[in-house]
Amino acid sequence: MADLLAGKTIIITGAARGIGQAYSLALAAQGANVVIADILDTADTVAQIEAAGSGAAIGVALDVTDIDSCRAMAAAALDSYGRIDGLINNAALFGPSDKTKGAELMPFDAIDEQMWDNMMAVNVKGAWNCCKAVVPAMREQNYGKIVNISSNTVALGAAHLLHYVTSKGAIATLSRCLAKELGPEGIRVNTISPGFIQSQASLDIMENFDAHAITDEMKNVCALGREQYPDDLVGSAIYLCSELSDFVSGQTLYVDGGATFSGI
């Protein structure tokens, strides 16, 4: 299937690399105009989309912790494409970069207050800020799709990553509450909860904390019994951004090869 997103404008945050880049390439391949937003340089993702010759793309410098930056991102999307149909809140403190150490594995009582506050500022306040920035345009259209990125560690639990996993739990809750609040205005809000994905960020974290065993541990609890890659997530992102899911809201989709089974 192609062109499921023709004519749609979708913003993907944290899209300079990794899973956000994979979402962006896949959405553009379905005909979407994509807005590639990140605190890192977005040129590589934009160039790959242009080379593929599918949907159009612009790159936007974004700091999700700054509401003015988020509003400028929404304004850039409207300037270029005239509407905002979708937002994937993918940006997070996870892998290390030249801007951040990312999520550091450590006992819960070794996390210092600054680390805790940074994690919440990027992962939770950042998603809230981006929602505030795009919802006015979605309201005017009486249509919109917000996809928040959580993690299956919220259901499974994970040692030595309390600040990160707690922030991802907040994201799942934010999604459900926003789904209720914005549903009457035609705005659908859903959550993707990935398993452990072999993105560059995960590889860097395992290398930096001598934690290579995580890959096998997660493979062993996965019903499909294999490692997971960024491209394993893109079908769900396309679905949740497309009209195929127009009657779906407030849901958490575990895209983890059957590692997590929800009882509710």
Supply the residues annotated as catalytic: 164
Of 24-32, 87-95, 111-119, 240-248: span binding ligand NAD (CB under 6 A): 87-95
Query: Contact between 197 and ligand NAD (CB under 6 A)?
Result: yes
For 67, 156, 213, 219, the CA distances from 262, given in Å and listed in that order, are 34, 10, 25, 18
**Closest by CA position to 241, among listed 68, 91, 29:** 29
**20 is a contact residue toward ligand NAD (CB under 6 A):** yes
Out of 10, 11, 12, 16, the only residue in the binding site for ligand NAD (CB under 6 A) is 16
Give the relative orientation of helices 43-52 and 18-29 as an angle to the nearest 10 degrees.
Answer: 30
Per-residue exposure over 221-244, b if at least 16 CB sit within 10 Å of its own CB, e if not: bbeeeebbebebbbebbbbbbbee
Please, which residue, 143 or 168, has the CB nearer to ligand NAD?
A: 168
Nearer to ligand NAD, 124 or 182 (CB): 124
Q: Contact between 23 and ligand NAD (CB under 6 A)?
A: no
Binding mask 216-255 for ligand NAD (x = CB under 6 A): ----------------------------------------
Compare residues 17 and 163 and give the one whose CB is closer to ligand NAD: 17
The DSSP annotation for 186-232 comes to: TEEEEEEEE--B--HHHHHHHHHTT-THHHHHHHHH-TT-S-B-THH
For residue 105, the 8-state DSSP code is P
Q: Which is nearer to ligand NAD, 143 or 175 (CB)?
A: 175
**Shortest approach of ligand NAD to residue 52 CB, angstroms?**
19
Among 25, 36, 62, 253, binds ligand NAD (CB under 6 A): 62
Q: What is each CA distance from 42 to 11, 66, 82, 122, in whole angstroms?
A: 13, 18, 21, 18
Nearest residue (CB) to ligand NAD, 39 versus 138: 39
Residues forming contacts to ligand NAD in the complex (CB under 6 A) are 13-14, 16-20, 38-40, 62-65, 90-95, 97, 122, 126, 149, 151, 194, 196-197, 199, 201-202
